Amino acid sequence: MPKFYEKRRQKYYAVLDVPKALREQLGISRRFVKSLQTDSESIARIRVLPVIAKWKQEIALAKASSSSGNELLDSVIKVRQDTQRLKAQGLDNWEIQMVHEEVAMDAALGEKNDYSGDHSLANAVSIAHGDSILLAEHIEEHLENKDSTPKSKDMARTALIAFAKEFPLAEEVTERGVRDWIIRTMERERKLSYSTIKREVSPIKMYWKWLKRYKGLDAPNPFEDVLPPAPSRNSKSKSSIDINGFSVSDYHKILGAVPEKDRNLRNLIIIGAHTGCRIEELCALQTEDVLPDRIQLVDAKTKAGLRTIPIHNAILQLVAELVDTSTDGYLISGEKPSNKYAKRSSGIGKRCGRLKARL
């Protein structure tokens, strides 16, 4: 773990590199630097923590602003940047807030002094000085601290951005409002299933809990009773989501339709049929995890997927040949990651899906 501090001229300084893409936006040439006002390393270790946390929040905020297209969020950033400028001039927090509120009030009053002007700056000042919580502001910081895959984070980000567009401020979120939003956008417009709605609401609920724990959000839980009724296990709709297996004749039909030159797809289908493995499990399977009589899955979608599978007699020779001829250390050799999540199964999975759809 980096220390985030260094010694200069007998004093310790907090330091944090800023990503190149954000330096101009943050007004930083290369890195944040701030004196910790001590020559004791033990004290520096303590003092550096809130400084680094604040800088990381600024970086996360800048990242969110650069990709969100959220005008209010951009205004909040400008207010925060001006706050730092005024602090550097020696002003106290209450003085800075008073200056910002006066400017915002002038903008809201407008030319006719009748509050017909722009009120967005007043909202930004309220948020920047801690009176309101802008939901879009902390999304990137929250996701950065989540221990999940890039794909899961992207799915969560999509759900959170949509939620933050509907409810810009945390105090605007109510149980009735969330329920109406789900009915209008997820059930009626997008016609999502119960399981998909539950999956999309889940990261929003987690974000709300995170805001309460780390950002001082003090509001009742608005997600208590917002999901649609769960489908009955005995309902007729259940049959529509059941997974249908392939018959032996289906298997041979699919295998016979594989293009002759696509040996990897043919081998994937054969091994998949005799092991029950997911496509990505087989594509991620390295030759070192293939033993003479079994395969060991050490990279699975879930913990339950970490397992050992005996190699069926019908594919023993094929598996042995693939191990001997592999050129890159993978059982299904030669497949390259073709998406941003670096999954080796992306290309061959699409070829398999198109083949099944065509049949």
Q: Supply the pLDDT for residue 140.
A: 87
Cβ-based neighbours of 116, under 8 Å, separated by 6 or more: 110
**Cα distance between residue 55 and residue 16, in whole Å:** 8
Pairing type for strands 11-17 and 5-8 reads antiparallel
Please give the backbone phi and psi of residue 344, each rounded to the nearest 5 degrees, phi first. -70, -20
Phi-psi label, residue 37: left if phi above 0, alpha if psi -120 to 50, beta otherwise:
left
- Model confidence over 212-242: pLDDT tens digits? 999 989 988 999 889 988 877 665 554 445 6
Q: How far is CA 46 from CA 14, 59, 326, in A?
A: 11, 21, 52
- Model confidence over 278-320: pLDDT tens digits? 999 999 999 999 999 999 988 766 677 789 999 999 999 999 9
Phi-psi label, residue 348: left if phi above 0, alpha if psi -120 to 50, beta otherwise:
alpha
pTM given for the model: 0.58
Spans in the chain with pLDDT lower than 50 = 1, 238-240
